[in-house]
Amino acid sequence: MAIVAQTPDILGERQSGQDVRTQNVVACQAVANIVKSSLGPVGLDKMLVDDIGDVTITNDGATILKMLEVEHPAAKVLVELAELQDREVGDGTTSVVILAAELLKRANDLVRNKIHPTSIISGYRLAMREACKYVEEKLAVKVEKLGKDSLVNCAKTSMSSKLIAIDSDFFANLVVDAVQGVKTTNARGEVKYPIKSINILKAHGKSAKDSYLLNGYALNTGRAAQGMPTKVAPARIACLDFNLQKTKMQMGVQVLVTDPRELEKIREREADITKERIQKLLKAGANVVLTTKGIDDMSLKACISQLAYFVEAGAIAVRRVRKEDLRHVAKATGATVVTTFADMEGEETFDSSFLGHADEVIEERIADDDVILIKGTKNTSAVSLILRGANDYMLDEMDRALHDALCIVKRTLESTTVVAGGGAVEAALSVYLEYLATTLGSREQLAIAEFAESLLVIPKVLAVNAAKDATELVAKLRAYHHTAQTKADKQHLSSMGLDLSKGTTRNNLEAGVIEPAMSKVKIIQFATEAAITILRIDDMIKLIKDERENEED
């Protein structure tokens, strides 16, 4: 029912009722169908080519959706949903989109059958709460019971659908060592794992298994001049966020020169200002200077008369450091990022308290690039992962896969509970919610039954992507979980999930296919909230710009 409302005030198109709902559901299904085939350990990759011809090959749901130009407003909700899951948990971006689209599709069918959207929404909310409670109380297992191997298994499960799945043993250990290497305790005594302190550097050449873990923060840049030392120990680091180039007059400043000899004096003074700044840095005790901007070659040259220059002082200066890297280095070494030399009195000063401390700063050569390594940092320990691979596409996909795995290991360590993967949780919840629905005498019963059915979309898609018989496998899974929930002596069956390489069912907790419990809880919460957001919409008004206004203008 499309009505064109043409009143003197509004010129636009209005769609309402079932039309809008169906349109929104179709748009969300289209988005979910794009990422559907990339779910699971045998999921396929997508090749995305942008408008300037840059190619990205990935099967990470958030990356795929971020690169798509989605026009439809309801479908944009799913794109934001994947980003949210990526930010909060780091993995499970594909699952959350598929589940949200399935919940929407089934809700739309219920609305067509004359069930009011409000009843469906309250049913979905109840189902979501019950599902999350059931996961935390019945399905989650404490990590301590499973030991260190559980962290490696979590990382392997996260990588199973990625490009590096074939070397998952090697990379999983690398990831666990990296996350445990940045362990810190905050003021409140909580143990935290700031994975931003793990710097990932990509270097061409060699094979993926030649990647390694470095103790220290690596900057993907070299010294600013060859005459500088390649190693400084102990290091006192100055982090600057301004130019050390020759000072230039500000825009709009005019200098009227009557005598040509004065010009030379102006030039000299401009050079002297930079020289004085460098002298202030070195006087404060800095022997490593990192700046996000440039350093003039003039101030890098070894001038015998000016001992204050870096080369003469035996200091390392690094220019064009990424701001993000500078912040991490400052945090790890206890330095203060200085944006100006000006103090309260209007003078230019640099205090030694702004300096950060590290055991040593060293320049090494990795592949064909020079890399500055900051080792033995004062505040938090920092580690770097050096990735090797055949080409850019491979390195980028390895980076994305490791980011997901790092996030998952961090979440496992911080939440300390895991659940079985491979569709086990979804099948268990489906059986549980189906039974719950039959105990309710209200109209929410239908919505909860549909919610239970929707959860089965995950094991179904996993089986279909692995070229296995989805109907048979899901039926077996449901039978196992029904037994587990009805017979007290069969509790161990609640970890039954899919073995997609053999096309059978197995105990995934014992097989080491595990995920953090919070990942599953967040997937259910976010998918339900997104589905409810779109389900509440029953009217869409598109305003058309009035041409008459333009004519008047």
pLDDT at residue 435 in the model: 92
Q: Which residue has the tokens 């490696």?
A: 152
* End-to-end CA, the chain: 34
Q: State mean pLDDT over 468-475.
A: 92
Q: What is the pLDDT of residues 235-244, one digit of tens each?
A: 888 898 877 7
Domain spanning 217-380, CATH architecture: 3-Layer(bba) Sandwich (3.50)
- For the ranges 52-66, 358-372, 448-462, the lowest mean pLDDT is seen at 358-372
Helix or strand holding residue 180 (H, E): helix 168-181
451 pLDDT more than 50: yes
Band of pLDDT at residue 147, cut at 50, 70 and 90: low
pLDDT at residue 297 in the model: 65
Percentages (nearest 5) of helix, strand, coil residues in the chain: 50, 20, 30
List of residues 6+ apart from 348 with CB closer than 8 A? 276, 277, 280, 341, 342
Residues facing 55 on adjacent strands? 49
Q: Where are the alpha helices (DSSP H) in 298-391?
A: 310-313, 323-333
Amino acid at 277: R
479 pLDDT more than 90: yes
pLDDT at residue 523 in the model: 93
Q: State mean pLDDT over 84-88.
A: 89
State the DSSP code for 42: T
365 pLDDT more than 90: no
Going from N- to C-terminal start, the domains of the chain cover 217-380
526 pLDDT more than 90: yes
User: Do β-strands 383-389 and 55-58 pair in parallel, antiparallel, or remain unpaired?
Assistant: unpaired
Q: Are 64 and 46 in contact (CB under 8 A)?
A: yes
- For the ranges 3-7, 419-423, 532-536, the lowest mean pLDDT is seen at 3-7
Q: Quick one: CA torsion of 498, 500, 506, 511, rounded to 10 degrees?
A: -110
List of residues 6+ apart from 67 with CB closer than 8 A? 48, 50, 56
Residues annotated as part of the active site: 60, 93-94, 404
Which is nearest to 531 in space by CA: 148, 81, 134, 210?
A: 81
- For the ranges 2-6, 87-91, 236-240, 503-507, the lowest mean pLDDT is seen at 2-6
Is the Cα torsion angle 315, 316, 321, 325 positive or negative in sign?
A: negative
Q: Is 452 helix (H, G, I), strand (E, B) or coil?
A: helix
List phi, psi (to 5°) of 325: -65, -40
List of residues 6+ apart from 552 with CB closer than 8 A? none
Q: For 92, what's the count of Cα atoms within 13 Å in the CB-facing half-sphere?
A: 32
Q: Which residue has the higher pLDDT, 303 or 145?
A: 145
Q: Which residue has the higher pLDDT, 539 or 344?
A: 539
Rounded to the nearest integer, the mean pLDDT of the chain is 84
Q: Which residue has the higher pLDDT, 314 or 482?
A: 482
Q: State mean pLDDT over 371-395.
A: 85
495 pLDDT more than 80: yes
Tokens of 194: 């700031």
Q: What is the pLDDT of residues 112-140, one digit of tens each?
A: 998 899 999 999 999 999 999 999 998 88
Tokens of 164: 């590096």
pLDDT at residue 548 in the model: 59
Tokens of 303: 């001038």
Q: State mean pLDDT over 275-300.
A: 79
Q: Are 493 and 483 in contact (CB under 8 A)?
A: yes
Amino acid at 383: V
Q: State mean pLDDT over 372-390.
A: 84
88 pLDDT more than 50: yes
pLDDT at residue 501 in the model: 86
Q: Are 107 and 116 in contact (CB under 8 A)?
A: no
Band of pLDDT at residue 11, cut at 50, 70 and 90: low
Amino acid at 74: A
Q: For 499, what's the count of Cα atoms within 13 Å in the CB-facing half-sphere?
A: 12
Q: Are 111 and 18 in contact (CB under 8 A)?
A: yes
